[in-house]
Structure 1
Amino acid sequence: MNGLRVRYVHQGYFPARAGAELMTRSLAVAMSRRGVRVGLYGGEGDPEDARLMTAAGIGVEPLPAGEGEARAADLVHAVDAFQPENIRTGLRLARAWGVPFAVTPASAPEVWPDRAAVVEGCRRADAVFVLTDAEREVLRADGVADSVLHRIGQGAHLPGTADPEGFRAAHGITGPVVLFLGRKMRSKGYAVLLEAARHVWARHPEAHFVFLGPRWDEDCGQLFAAHADPRITELDRVDEDTKLSALMASDLVCLPSTVDVFPLVFVEAWMCGKPVIGSAFMGSAEVIADGRDGLIVPPAARPVADAVSRLLADPAERERMGRAGHARARRELTWDAVAAQVHRVYTELVPARS
């Protein structure tokens, strides 16, 4: 539908970054390529985002305090229940303008700071985009009508240029690399992986652990200090070239998260041909095909260490899992595929409301 105007609502986490933020940005750009006239409320503050959005012809504005005098969109789409203000603002604007309202919760119910607001927003939405069937069942149990629930996937966000050998040289890495990629918060499992490192070294003393992502926990610095070792490299938020280089330099990606929906990190790892290790979260068995493109293990140091050691000891298994993940990601988990599903729902909603 050419000329369709969509406004996304997502405040972002600058100077940190989260999967929901990359999801919003990637979906907005993919929709712009499909001819949708896209704008974003709440994404200001991140210069990298601003450059990307400007290049795609997408305007970025502060989260509006009022409805405005004129209707600015044919549909409003709020993303990320971890920031319930996104959903409240999106619903208020959509109802004031008399246009359809869509929601992508994009985060696990365990971390919603205002579950009542999220559930109310989803119940009143014209479309709710979920990432797994497990998420669909949770929202259905909360009273969200099945008719508005649409399952979509994730897509990888890897715009950088890879230099894996340069990354290894810059950080003095000579052995195999275990990569943690994400916000350093306990629910993501970085603390578990830190504790697992010493058990891995008992069998693979040459293994190097790279932790890449912004610090989130208040005691994060103390935790890394307590586990200080030259075989551990900790990096904060980095540019896209460094992120892609770290992924390509790694032998496996380990994110033993317990509170998630569909970690973008896994899709990015698979697109780089890397196997993943994750833990049990809502719908994890839908996300990771255990034994095929990764491993699902209990979120404790010993089981994580056993899984890491197993893959480090078997290059053929790593390669097989990486190939399987890559094939699946190329087949199912791209933003073009996601955007096609979302766009189909948009075009059904707008004529219905008009």
Structure 2
Amino acid sequence: MSGLQVNVLRHPRVANVIMWVVSKCIGRPSFRSLGIVLFEALFARQAIAALRGVDVIHHIGQAHELIGFAAAAAARKLGVPFVIQPTVHPGQWGDSPFDFYLYQQAQGLFAITNFERNFLESCGLSGPFFIVGNGIDNRTDGNANRFRQSYSLEGPIVLFLGRKTPDKGYTLLKQAFSLVQAQRPDAKLVCMGPTPGEQPSQVCLEVKDGVLELGFGSEQDKHDALAACTMLCVPSEGEAFGLVYMEAGRYAKPVIGRRLPVLEELLGRQGAGLLVGRAYGEGNQVGLDVIELKDAILQLLNDPQLAEQLGKNADQVSEAFIWSRVVTRFETAYRNAVANKTVSLECLSQTN
């Protein structure tokens, strides 16, 4: 966090026993209130000291981290608005009754998309809501030649960026790409990202069976890969926003993702991405099989005009989410939250 003041909240070692009790309480709905009280007793005073003098307190996340409750307590004590940015993945995380108990304590809810706001409203939250989006660096300085030369890559590149886990679509993509190669042996799949600690490392710095497995790369490595790729393919099972698709958009690269409601809102309706799969159940689930994903990759490989148009549209869409524009939306939301809090306090004083 270069250039930013960071205050770390800590509990004394002697309080480890209390934290153990808190962990047991949080796992049992009937004891959660006790867990929250104990957690606030340990951390609320520190939070108040660290946050004294601020105009608004902004919590990013859900309830199970518990720090949101200490932040809410600090906001009440300091008399400042408390806002939450839940980053909900409906049906996956952030939508439990415990989470909504925390969200109800906020004077404002920052939603990343209209889909998230509509979902929160449908669950009974009244807001006020502020649609802020998410921010990306306005970068197009990736060096395609450097990336290709570093790994002796020729031909079209399908790029995967993210954790190498099934929920990010990594396993499905590798299966689909093995079928792609039967028709397009010139294509390469580059996977860049960390492997979960409990799994064998998926890193091989040479192309093997058309696949290059890279580990966690630097920001420059990532941008070099984006500049070099023919398309980005990250068929995640869930997304709150999908920053990586927007980052690819800055390079006018076509993207493939699941037809998730969030991506449909941000990319699909603008013709800025090739979205695949079929919704099932309620909420945010989209089924996708190997054949459909294979066909989507081949469609972009075999139709350069379509790929180019999708990339141009993605470039236009991503323009709205560069940091300078997103910061303006956050500033407006903060000012509204402070103004709403001031009005509420004035109304309260008039009734007393």
TM-score, normalised to structure 2, is 0.77
Secondary structure (helix, strand or coil) at the match of 2:306 reads helix
Q: What is the aligned counterpart of 2:309 among 275, 300, 320?
A: 320
Contact residue 270 and residue 322 of structure 1 kept, 8 A = yes
The range that moved more, 209-218 or 265-274, is 209-218
CA shift for structure 1 position 239:
1.1
Q: What is the aligned counterpart of 2:96 among 86, 96, 115?
A: 115
CA shift for structure 1 position 230:
4.2
Q: What is the aligned counterpart of 2:159 among 145, 155, 179?
A: 179
Contact residue 80 and residue 106 of structure 1 kept, 8 A = yes
Task: Give me the whole-angstrom Cα distance separating, in 1, the residues matched to 2:130 and 2:95.
Answer: 23
CA shift for structure 1 position 78:
1.1
- After TM superposition, the runs of 4+ consecutive aligned structure 1 residues lying more than 6 A away are none
CA shift for structure 1 position 97:
2.1
CA shift for structure 1 position 110:
3.2
Q: What is the aligned counterpart of 1:207 among 164, 187, 204?
A: 187
CA shift for structure 1 position 89:
3.5
CA shift for structure 1 position 124:
1.4
Tell me, which stretches of 5 or more residues in structure 1 are unaligned? 1-49
Letter of the structure 2 residue corresponding to residue 202 of structure 1: A
Indicate the residue corresponding to 2:114 in structure 1: 133
CA shift for structure 1 position 101:
0.9
Contact residue 258 and residue 280 of structure 1 kept, 8 A = no
The range that moved more, 321-330 or 210-219, is 210-219
Task: Give me the whole-angstrom Cα distance separating, in 2, the residues matched to 1:211 and 1:82.
Answer: 33
- The 3 A distance-change label for structure 1 pair 82 and 120 is closer
Letter of the structure 2 residue corresponding to residue 177 of structure 1: I
Letter of the structure 2 residue corresponding to residue 235 of structure 1: L
Contact residue 290 and residue 296 of structure 1 kept, 8 A = no
Task: Give me the whole-angstrom Cα distance separating, in 1, the residues matched to 2:217 and 2:57.
Answer: 31
Indicate the residue corresponding to 1:340 in structure 2: 328
- Post-superposition Cα deviations, 1:23-60, rounded to whole Å, max 9, x if no partner, equal xxxxxxxxxxxxxxxxxxxxxxxxxxx3xx31xxx212
Task: Give me the whole-angstrom Cα distance separating, in 2, the residues matched to 1:312 and 1:82.
Answer: 44
- The 3 A distance-change label for structure 1 pair 134 and 178 is same
Task: Give me the whole-angstrom Cα distance separating, in 1, the residues matched to 2:270 and 2:335.
Answer: 39
Contact residue 258 and residue 279 of structure 1 kept, 8 A = yes
How many residue pairs match? The answer is 295
Contact residue 273 and residue 325 of structure 1 kept, 8 A = yes
Task: Give me the whole-angstrom Cα distance separating, in 2, the residues matched to 1:182 and 1:325.
Answer: 19
- Post-superposition Cα deviations, 1:83-115, rounded to whole Å, max 9, x if no partner, equal 633433432332232211111112413332782
Letter of the structure 2 residue corresponding to residue 125 of structure 1: A
Determine if the alignment matches structure 1 residue 149 to structure 2 residue 129: yes
Secondary structure (helix, strand or coil) at the match of 2:221 reads helix
CA shift for structure 1 position 160:
8.1
- The 3 A distance-change label for structure 1 pair 175 and 63 is farther
Task: Give me the whole-angstrom Cα distance separating, in 2, the residues matched to 1:279 and 1:89.
Answer: 37
Contact residue 159 and residue 240 of structure 1 kept, 8 A = no
Secondary structure (helix, strand or coil) at the match of 1:109 reads coil
Indicate the residue corresponding to 2:171 in structure 1: 191
Contact residue 87 and residue 94 of structure 2 kept, 8 A = no
- The 3 A distance-change label for structure 1 pair 220 and 200 is farther
- The 3 A distance-change label for structure 1 pair 348 and 114 is closer
Task: Give me the whole-angstrom Cα distance separating, in 2, the residues matched to 1:229 and 1:204.
Answer: 15
The range that moved more, 278-287 or 104-113, is 104-113
Letter of the structure 2 residue corresponding to residue 127 of structure 1: G
Contact residue 87 and residue 118 of structure 1 kept, 8 A = no
Determine if the alignment matches structure 1 residue 167 to structure 2 residue 147: yes
Contact residue 234 and residue 256 of structure 2 kept, 8 A = yes
Task: Give me the whole-angstrom Cα distance separating, in 2, the residues matched to 1:236 and 1:80.
Answer: 27
Q: Percent identity?
A: 29
Letter of the structure 1 residue corresponding to residue 68 of structure 2: I
Task: Give me the whole-angstrom Cα distance separating, in 1, the residues matched to 2:77 and 2:140.
Answer: 40
Secondary structure (helix, strand or coil) at the match of 2:244 reads helix
Determine if the alignment matches structure 1 residue 61 to structure 2 residue 61: no
| RMSD of equivalent CA atoms | 2.4
Indicate the residue corresponding to 2:227 in structure 1: 248
The range that moved more, 260-269 or 69-78, is 69-78
Tell me, which stretches of 5 or more residues in structure 2 are unaligned? 11-42, 278-287, 343-352
Contact residue 56 and residue 80 of structure 2 kept, 8 A = yes
Indicate the residue corresponding to 1:124 in structure 2: 105
